[in-house]
Structure 1
Amino acid sequence: MAQAGPDCRKLSEKERLAWLRLARTENVGPVTFRKLIGRFGSATTALEALPGLSRNGGSKRDPRICSSDAAAIELEAADRLGCQLVCSCEPQYPSALRSADGAPPLLTVKGSMSAFARPFVAIVGSRNASAVGGRIARTLSADIGESGYGIVSGLARGIDAAAHEAALETGTVAVMAGGLDRPYPPQNIALFEKICAGGNSAAVSEMPLGWEARARDFPRRNRIIAGMALGLIVVEAAKKSGSLISARLAGELGRLVFAVPGSPLDPRAKGTNDLIKDGAILTTGAGDVVDALAPLSGNLTSHGGAQMMFEEEKIAVEQQAGPTDRSRTQVAGALGPAPVAIDEIVRHTGLLPAEIYVVLLELDLAGRLARHPGGMVSLLPA
């Protein structure tokens, strides 16, 4: 069973409401949320500080903060639908995902919370799957599930659906791009309902109820799939498949990437064959996956505890006085349209890391900062 980590705790209803308000507030993405909690210690205190931080970042108006009433309505709607909201500091939150950069601060869950007790393997692939591809996905899913892993995927047609169906008995999680009251695609609503009704399966989403999935939401969904899993398997993927984006995200998060080889004459195998050329683990059966993950399965989940305060947040907390106007000018001057590492800003300005982290937070809340993979940042045009 996955370990929760030493800092996990269950939030009170008042704290959960504050977390939800902060997560639904303008310009507060997952990374910014984590930094706010790290600096201020609680969502309630962070909410109080938002207007001042945004003004310091150059915004001419206060951020649109989610109201207590709006958050309470969302919680009530989730309860009526049979859903729970789980925050990333709580023990029920998926352990591997908690350790991932950019993990959502909260997830809406429908189904069994016991679904998250196992380590996960992700299986993704073509929506236009061949009969052979579907059979391979079902076999891998069933065998890996029998080996003690949960199966996570995105409920899409083809490979995703085959993987979910084969793992209904052992446990599967469907990650949705929209709200859990708007399951997509329509062809898989019956499968969605089976997953939510299963004793050890669930559906999850970071989006609020009522949210219709848009094209831009699917990469965010794919990042959650990759973050939840110790490894990600691609079964049939064309050269420009979204599954290759999932594989790239998994690699960025330090997860193992597996690929099932296919015929060079089948365009659905072009992406998977290229992944193998680029270093993905060639996979012909569940044993390839289970053997490769064996050294990790007790490690990432046990050490992926609720580390809400990474080193930069700890530094920022130690210096609560905040940056000066001169510091803000220096940091803004060091930024440009090209992404730059924060370490480079430290070297360029000579400022303390604590000052720089807070200035970046202010710029972020003012809508002036873009965050990139690997902790890189850039300045958005005015």
Structure 2
Amino acid sequence: MTINREEIAEKSLWVSLGSISGIGSQTFCHLLKAFGSPYNIYAASISQLKEVVSANIANVISNGANQEPSNELAQWLAAPNNHLVTLADPEYPKALLEISDPPPYLYAKGNLALLNQSSIAIVGSRNASVQGEKNAEAFAYDLCQHGLCIVSGLALGIDGAAHRGALKANGATIAVVGTGLDIVYPAKHRELAHQIVERGLILSEFPLGTPSKPQNFPKRNRIISGLSLGCLVVEANVQSGSQITARMAAEQGREIFAIPGSIHSPMSKGCHQLIKQGAKLVDCIQDITEELKLQPRLDTTPSSAQVQQGSAPSGSSEQLLLETMGFDPSPLERLVTLTGLTVAEVSSMLMLLELDGKVASLSGGQYQKIM
């Protein structure tokens, strides 16, 4: 989409207004309700502005009335697939208009049509287990088969797995990030980000050049949940960004789903807490599709979101054994079956892992991962 000088000048006014200290999403919206557009806001008198904002903010707005369009923004918008979507644009996601503090504008890179597609958020721990990532990827894959767009945050762990699942399904996915769109964070997901731009969409409310800051990620979570019909939490500890996203989703009237796990795993405690608070327990795709009243699949292929008990993760033999064990007690025979290793190999590694304090030997010939 080609953008002309007049459009760049207009969008620069939105960014200029949003960059003023003290003007957050809600204040911006109050100004828009009072004056109609950023152009009218900048054209208003100080006395008119003071009826809506503080004297300090009114003075700053008045002094910035003749601000020139940003060269940086103009150059960025001139590049393929780059957009700035404002509340005045028809592409602005209608779902975000339902939340209490919608971002006045969004930097977007990719396919804008996804902004108003039915979506579901999938979030979870950055330090996810192998099984957790498999579950996130599988649920994302199947939910795409039901026509949903997968929304997540491009973080390591569950977020990345959810995006990958959507891409494998040739489905739609949106990544909402906590940096400027000229920065890829984490850097490890640079290739994944490129794939999402080609087949999906990346969004941010933060200005170009904004680096990774801890305070930005909880703020962006309201957009992840706000875009979605519901939020699926795959793995999370009790105090995590995923819990924040789930809380925001509940406040926004969205459905909350959580996958349970071992009572011994810290990555399950956040999900268990959500279930206690009323989130729907999920162990198969139908738990979500029935709640959201989605159309059933046309084929009879079994859902890939069923827990894959027999697949062994890659890595060193000891790491393979640890990842296969999970946090529930397991007998030696089961570990041999799941890992494909010999009895002698598994027994030797269990003894070493027990000496390292990573595994506990229980009664009845069972073993349990403890860290």
Identity percentage of aligned residues? 37
1:57 aligns with 2:54: yes
Cross-structure match for 1:197: 198
Distance 1:144 1:278, change over 3 A: same
Q: Given the alignment of the two structures, is residue 39 of structure 1 paired with residue 40 of structure 2, yes or no?
A: no
**Structure 1 CA distance, aligned partners of 2:229 and 2:178?**
21
Separation (CA, whole Å) in 2 of partners of 1:139 and 1:106: 32
Distance in 2 (CA, whole Å) between partners of 1:16 and 1:123 is: 31
Find the counterpart in structure 1 of residue 224 from structure 2: 225
* CA distance 1:60–1:74, change in 2 (3 Å): closer
Partner Cα separation in structure 1 for residue 110 and residue 45 of structure 2: 34
Deviation track 1:358-379 (CA, whole Å, cap 9, x = no partner) reads xxxxxxxxxxxxxxxxxxxxxx
Question: Does structure 2 retain, via aligned residues, the 8 Å contact 1:239–1:270?
Answer: yes
* Change beyond 3 A, Cα 1:122–1:17: same
Flag the 1:21–1:273 CA change in 2: closer, same or farther, 3 A.
same
Contact 1:150–1:170 (CA under 8 A) maintained in structure 2: yes
CA distance in 2, matches of 1:242, 1:283: 20
1:74: how far off? 1.4
Question: Are 1:286 and 2:281 matched, yes or no?
Answer: no
Q: What RMSD, in angstroms, separates the aligned Cα atoms of the two structures?
A: 2.3
Structure with greater Cα Rg: 2
**For residues 51-200 of structure 1, what are the structure 2 equivalents within 5 Å?**
51-52=46-47, 53-54=49-50, 57-59=54-56, 62-63=59-60, 65=64, 68-80=67-79, 82-168=81-167, 169-198=170-199
Q: Which moved more, 1:232-241 or 1:283-292?
A: 283-292
SS of the residue 2:31 aligns to: helix
Q: Find the aligned partners of 2:80 and 2:254 in 1 and give their Cα distance.
A: 33
CA distance, structure 2, for counterparts of residue 60 and residue 28 of structure 1: 8
**Cα distance per residue 1:243-279 (max 9 Å; x no partner):** 1011111111111111111110101000000100010
Q: Normalising by structure 1, what TM-score?
A: 0.69
In structure 1, runs of 5+ residues without a counterpart are 1-10, 296-382
TM normalised by structure 2 equals: 0.71
Alpha-carbon distance in structure 2 between the residues aligned to 1:13 and 1:202: 21
Aligned pairs, how many?
284
CA shift for structure 1 position 21? 2.5
> Using CA pairs below 8 Å that are at least 6 residues apart, which structure has the higher relative contact order?
1
Alignment partner, residue 16 of structure 1:
11
The alpha-carbon distance between structure 1 residues 57 and 25, as it changes in their structure 2 partners (threshold 3 A), is closer
| 1-structure distance, mates of 2:177, 2:193 | 10
Distance in 1 (alpha carbons) for counterparts of 2:118 and 2:57: 46
2-structure distance, mates of 1:105, 1:71 = 18
What is the DSSP-based 3-state SS (H/G/I as helix, E as strand, rest coil) of the residue aligned with 1:211? coil
Is 2:228–2:254's contact at 8 Å kept on the other side of the alignment? yes
Structure 2 counterpart of 1:177, one-letter code: G
- 1:50–1:63 contact (8 Å) kept in structure 2: no
Q: Which amino acid is 1:171 matched to?
A: A
Q: How far off its partner does 1:106 sit?
A: 0.7
Instruction: Please state how far the C-alpha of 1:167 moved relative to its aligned partner.
Output: 0.4
Q: What amino acid is the match of 2:263?
A: P
State how far apart, in whole Å, the 1-side matches of 2:266 and 2:65 are.
46
